[in-house]
């Protein structure tokens, strides 16, 4: 029975540390982007309502409060989804790296080529993780931008068209519906990305193992 040596464990741990650092940086970037988006939404809504008629001041305040609350919910959902994605990716990568390195060393009996193969596997896996994380960031940024546009358009249209007395109820209902739809879209998009990521990582590692071990 093959037992991993200290060097194998340190290599796997180093690979996991690299992946974790990359993922943490991406999470920070996503959080910063979302916070900036929140500020933009608040500024746009407030600026739009400041130039509105005095009779709609109460409506404007209500809209701002509703939009802020809605955006906070969206931010929380985005952060939670990103964290879940990060955890899944890190776990999958850690398991794959450990299994692949263990398999290579058991097949090659500690030869010099096995060290090269291990480095190739680690580099390929980390590269795939970085690429996947970039895709996740792009998807999150695009979805958040779409959210901002939709929320601002809905708020402006409702404020301009609906009667003052009805605006509060209508705006709350419309904004909540829009946000629920957007959040559902976010979750679906990110889940699809995670599935694709895991499949791609498994395929890449399998191909690398086949090339290194059998060729």
Q: What is the C-alpha separation between 17 and 44, in angstroms, rounded? A: 41
Q: What is the C-alpha separation between 183 and 76, in angstroms, rounded? A: 10
Burial degree of 41 (CB within 10 A; 0-12, 13-18, 19+): buried
pLDDT tens, residue order, the chain (215 aa)? 444 454 555 555 555 665 666 666 667 666 766 776 676 667 666 666 555 555 566 666 766 776 677 677 777 777 777 777 777 777 777 777 777 777 666 666 656 666 666 677 777 777 777 777 777 777 777 777 777 677 767 766 665 565 555 555 666 666 666 666 666 766 676 666 666 666 666 666 666 666 666 65
pLDDT at 76: 74
97 is written with which tokens?
């790296």
pLDDT at 52: 54
| Residue 72 neighbours by CB distance under 10 Å | 11
Closest to 58 measured CA to CA, from 150, 66, 179:
66
Q: What is the C-alpha separation between 203 and 117, in angstroms, rounded? A: 16
pLDDT at 1: 45
74 with 148: CB under 8 angstroms? Answer: no
Is the pTM above the cut of 0.75? no
CA angle 133, 21, 76 (to 5 degrees): 60
Alpha helices in the chain (DSSP H): 6-50, 57-108, 112-161, 164-214
pLDDT at 3: 46
Q: What is the C-alpha separation between 115 and 111, in angstroms, rounded? A: 7
Domain map (residue ranges) of the chain: 29-174+185-214
- In this structure, what DSSP letter does residue 111 have? -
Q: What is the C-alpha separation between 129 and 211, in angstroms, rounded? A: 20
pLDDT at 85: 74
């Amino acid at each position: 029975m093959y037992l991993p040596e200290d060097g194998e464990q340190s290599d796997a741990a180093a690979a996991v540390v690299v992946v974790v650092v990359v993922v943490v940086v991406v999470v920070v970037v996503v959080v910063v982007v979302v916070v900036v988006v929140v500020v933009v939404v608040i500024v746009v809504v407030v600026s739009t309502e400041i130039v509105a008629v005095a009779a709609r001041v109460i409506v404007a305040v209500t809209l701002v409060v509703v939009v802020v609350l809605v955006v906070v919910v969206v931010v929380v959902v985005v952060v939670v989804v990103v964290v879940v994605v990060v955890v899944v990716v890190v776990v999958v990568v850690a398991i794959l790296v450990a299994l692949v390195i263990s398999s290579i060393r058991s097949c090659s009996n500690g030869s010099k080529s096995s060290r090269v193969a291990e480095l190739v596997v680690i580099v390929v896996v980390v590269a795939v993780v970085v690429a996947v994380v970039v895709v996740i960031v792009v998807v999150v940024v695009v979805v958040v931008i779409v959210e901002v546009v939709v929320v601002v358009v809905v708020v402006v249209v409702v404020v301009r068209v609906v009667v003052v007395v009805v605006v509060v109820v209508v705006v709350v209902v419309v904004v909540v519906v829009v946000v629920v739809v957007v959040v559902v879209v976010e979750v679906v998009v990110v889940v699809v990305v995670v599935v694709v990521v895991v499949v791609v990582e498994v395929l890449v590692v399998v191909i690398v193992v086949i090339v290194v071990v059998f060729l």
